[in-house]
Structure 1
């Protein structure tokens, strides 16, 4: 009896430990594959002519001159050019914004492209689609097996879409911001940020249903939810932050519940974040309704958001946790620096893959953090890295993943996980200053992490 009490006390203590005190596990680079930044796809033949040139609305005025506006990382990140110009002829494959846990029959991975160019306003000509991809770590390449475009021929979307007046009714980044994906019984489930909504679609991209989010019985809205109008009061008219919807949505084996994880803390009535934690709501794919249960994930020091969320067994799951930085910390700009052409004003510092146990929760509903790997400190003794990271330090035998948005993680087998970045084409350059980030897929050997309990 005494032993049971002691074990219970130890378990409770583990749940109460701060995130910064959790165990850090080693990670070794086992494979590296690249999909070039400037990878484009052709729109469907029946898509509106408007969609054959994308990115026309990313500047102050519409631009219809292909590849005429140089991309850069933005003033907050040093205004570094990326070497790629807008608008694009065709649709950019973009960075990956989520991996599905289940694979297609041929072993390819379902992965998702997000809303296009970063906001509802600048993405009305960015078509929405998901892919089946196969990374080849021997060749160092990523094969795009198929791209499937989302469309709404049956008018399931509960608001007016950008291409409302067309027969094909393809969806765009002015309609939704899809950020997470799961594949179940031949159907696609997508976690979305603007609503936030959960979208159910057929494997051919046809929308079957759109579900608004409910927390404690009330509908959750964001500033970009259709129906939210200006002036809107943060915390009252909407509680989900902009770009704070479903960045991660895990499918639980056995139950087929979707664990929908918001990217940022929701707002209290005072309009401020309710705390340093994120909400998780569960959705029953069989009943096609919310279960009414919700849980919490505590962010570690310095983390501002999550990137992806996938189960590895019936209760344990992987969550990407990140800050808003990009670039190696050794190239951080000096305080007050006027010239930022060769430095990173906001370098990458917190880039983690966290292992959690959803079955272990404290009295306040916080799920247990078991430990994590540091994506800024990956071992590479075998020289698997295909590209170098710009740095003012010796990175021999070390690999880093210094990207702003790292949004894909999944279990591969008992010892490996797969991680990929969203390169925000053409607005991110975390690997090299002045060069747009490629879509990088990394295979990591993390047996200690996967075996931890």
Structure 2
């Protein structure tokens, strides 16, 4: 969910480029397309839900293990953004009475019959060790861009009644066997044939889940015939040697997993580069592997996605037709760069690591060079969105300025129609700001008019 790596953009090229030559050492400038704000809706940061009636009592208070020691006193410790981001307080305190709705970590391409979106909440509080009381669930949500509100139509809690997890889960001894953030870190989601397919980071695994939330199957990751593991894979012993004992970086699993229309293929993209034998990143690219949902197995094919200069992670990945897809790429910055801290300044009233790279990239998965790099067609800049009709909600945009989406983790993108895409953030409650210093980031959904981007080839 949190971090990744950077690199040089791979740009627009003639169609013949994909099959005839290797990736160039210096890529030409990629086309930047305009984006216009067509709608804005918010789910407030402090949005909580009650666990199911049969959940263990332990799960009725969440976030008890986010500090240095256990804390069972509700709302007693205020969250902050951490030293890297100025240690700004967020105004919301842990532990929570109930489960937070925070962490919108993926949108499914296929929507529900009523048009609502299936969206995923991640592992809870960012790490395996601090999230054993954070329940795993997904939702049907419907942003209303006329009223600026978001309706939660349904929540589906993940559970393992049939003992499909290949390890002991946090709630192993309970009858309900609800899954938590100590078990899996779900980051990407697709909906197919009344089932969910979830890309997960700890394993990394692909999870097959029934419509009612039951875990049906767990698939480890295979690349070139070998199982990939990370430092948080169950059974990993400490000390472990990066590059030898594990190749997937921490928080480097499936941040994006696209479902290719009419094929049943999942294109699963790792968030960070794999590690080489020397323990260092194998290169400045991200691996993309395909999984056949019908066969329940990896195809053996893998490709590469190149990040632009300054980007450190991807956030989501969704097809818009049979071959073209949208990818979120981002840096690790948070907040308006116009309010960045001067050198040596007290960060109390400024952003020491502001947002500078937040893009939606259009790629063509059928257009690849001989090294497997997927062709980038162009992108829109989420930090420079036109708003001529004043669609931004009050308090979210400076007067006379273009609208910006300057959040740390932007992890949701999908095509709505021929002209529009929907984008949303993961607000990492209560640890991220981005919109306003001293206030926790809300879960914001934006509707963007991007006809030129969606028509590009």
**Is TM more than 0.5 here?**
yes
Distance 1:333 1:367 in 2: 37
Cα deviation for residue 332 of structure 1 reads 1.0
Q: Does 1:400 pair with 2:404?
A: yes
Kindly provide the CA deviation profile for residues 253-306 of structure 1, in whole angstroms up to 9, marking residues without a partner as x.
021100000011111111111111100010000000000000000011001110
Equivalent in 355, 363, 375 of residue 368 of structure 1: 375
**Aligned to 1:442, what secondary structure does the other structure show?**
strand
**Aligned to 2:348, what secondary structure does the other structure show?**
coil
Distance 1:61 1:25 in 2: 48
**Aligned to 1:151, what secondary structure does the other structure show?**
coil
8 Å CA contact 2:19–2:368 kept in 1: the answer is no
**Aligned to 1:398, what secondary structure does the other structure show?**
coil
Give me the TM-score of the superposition, normalised by structure 1: 0.96
- How do 1:31-430 and structure 2 match up within 5 A? 31-337=39-345, 339-389=346-396, 396-430=400-434
Corresponding residue number in structure 1 for 2:4 = none
Distance 1:380 1:402 in 2: 15
CA gap of 1:131–1:19, structure 2 versus 1, over 3 A, is: farther
Cα deviation for residue 423 of structure 1 reads 0.2
Kindly provide the CA deviation profile for residues 324-347 of structure 1, in whole angstroms up to 9, marking residues without a partner as x.
00001111111222x110011110
8 Å CA contact 1:240–1:267 kept in 2: the answer is yes
Cα deviation for residue 8 of structure 1 reads 3.1
Distance 2:371 2:22 in 1: 14
8 Å CA contact 2:22–2:371 kept in 1: the answer is no
- After TM superposition, what 4+ stretches of structure 1 lie above 6 angstroms from structure 2? none
Gaps of 5+ in 2: 1-13
Distance 1:264 1:163 in 2: 30
Larger RCO of the pair (alpha carbons < 8 Å, separation 6+): 2
8 Å CA contact 2:18–2:368 kept in 1: the answer is no
Gaps of 5+ in 1: 1-5
Distance 2:211 2:426 in 1: 23
8 Å CA contact 1:154–1:207 kept in 2: the answer is yes
Q: Does 1:436 pair with 2:443?
A: no
8 Å CA contact 1:15–1:361 kept in 2: the answer is no
Kindly provide the CA deviation profile for residues 95-127 of structure 1, in whole angstroms up to 9, marking residues without a partner as x.
310000000111110000000000000000000
Give me the CA root mean square deviation: 1.5
8 Å CA contact 2:18–2:369 kept in 1: the answer is no
**Aligned to 2:245, what secondary structure does the other structure show?**
coil
